[in-house]
Amino acid sequence: MHHYRTFSAFALVFLLALPSSAQEKGQAKKAQSKAAQTEQQAPTFANVPYGEHSRQVLDFYKAESHDPTPLVVFIHGGGWMNGDKGRVGTVDLRKLLANGISVASINYRFVPQAQEAGIKPPVKAPLEDAARAIQFLRSKAQEWNIDKTRVGATGGSAGACSSLWLALHDDLAKADSADPIARESTRLTCAAVVGAQTNLDPKMLREWMPNMMYGGHAFGFRKEGQNRDGEFQTFYDHREDVLSWIKEYSPYEHAGPGDPPLFLDYPSQDKPARYGEQQKDPTHSAVNGLGLMEKLKPHGVEVHLAYPGQKDPDFANSTEFLIAKLKAKR
C-alpha cells in the first residue's frame, strides 16, 4: 500500500515558531536536497525515439550491474489524454535501481492525436505504442545490459490499463517480420499497477458499478463539448457496433491461463469492493480489480488485490512485488 510522510503536530508548531531566516534556510536546504535528488535520478538516456512520432520516446535509467538487469517499464496515466514520462517519480525509482533493476519511462500517442490520424479505435495508438516500446527495449538488451526475460510493467490509471493489456495479451511479436524490433516479444514477467481500469466493456462495467462513466473516448465516442457521462452513454448504446474492438483492447478479454503475476493497488477505495454498488471513484475503484482477480483465480494466476481496509498479506506495496518477482530465482 502507499504510505505518505506527514508532519506531526509538534513538528508543524516547531516549524512555525522558527525565525523567518531559519525557515528560509530550511526551505533552501530542502530545495537543494530536492534538486540533488532530481539530479541523481536523471535518466541514463533521455528522449530516445522508439518510433517516428514525437510522442514515441522514452527515458532509460540504467541500474549498475555486471550481469544483465531486470527491467521495469513505467507507463504514465492521464486517461490516454495527457501526461508525461516525467511522472516516473511516482514509482520508487531509487529502490528499484538499488536492487539492480533498470527502469524505462515511456511517452505514447494520445487519443486525440489518434483520432486526428484516423486510427480506429483511438485507444489502439497508446496501447500499441506501449507494446512497441517493450519490443524496442528488448532490442536494446545487449547494449543497455537488460535481461529481456525479466520485464515488468507499472503505471497508474490509463497507464495501469495499458500495463495490464500487455500482461494479459498474447505475444504480439511477429516472428517473420523484416523489422527486427517487431520480432521481439511483448510478454511481461509481471505487472504492478495503481487504480487500473481492467475492463473496457461498458455493459459489464455498468453491472459492476452503476455509476461507471469511463471509456467512451477510447473507442471514438469523444466529441467536443460532450462530457464523460455523455461519452460513456453513447459508448454503452453503441456497444454492439464496437464489440470486436472491445474484445481486442480490453485487458479483461485476454485474461486466462498462463498470465503473469499481478499486483492491483487501489489507494482511493473508501469501502469494501462489492459489485452493484455506486462507487466514489468508479474509474479507479477496486471493483475493477475484483472483477479481474475473480476471472484469473480459477486459472491459477497469482493476483494480489490491495486497497485501504484490505492489505495484501504478501507484499506491502507494488515496489516490493516487482522486486520479488523480477529478482526471483529460477
Q: Would the pLDDT of 73 be above 90?
A: yes
d(CA 323, CA 150): 11
Residue 226: pLDDT band with limits 50, 70, 90:
confident
Question: H-helix or E-strand containing 47?
Answer: strand 45-49
Q: Using CA atoms, how far apart are residues 71 and 165, in angstroms rounded to an integer?
A: 18
Q: Which residue has the cell 480489480?
A: 289
Q: Mean of the per-residue pLDDT values for the chain?
A: 90
**Closest by alpha carbon to 146, among 233, 58, 265, 87?**
58
pLDDT at 18 over 90: no
Tell me: pLDDT of 191 over 80.
Answer: yes
Q: pLDDT tier at 168 (50, 70, 90 boundaries)?
A: very high
- The whole-angstrom separation of Cα 280 and Cα 205 is 15
Give the pLDDT band of residue 330 (cuts 50, 70, 90): confident
Summarised one tens digit per residue, pLDDT across range 281-306 is: 999 999 999 999 999 999 999 999 99
Cell 483511438 maps to which residue?
122
Task: Please list the residues that pair with 194 across neighbouring strands.
Answer: 156, 265
Cell of 186: 511483448
Q: What integer is the mean pLDDT of 166-175?
A: 98
CB contact set of 108 (below 8 Å; sequence gap of 6+): 55, 56, 75, 125, 126, 129, 130, 133, 162
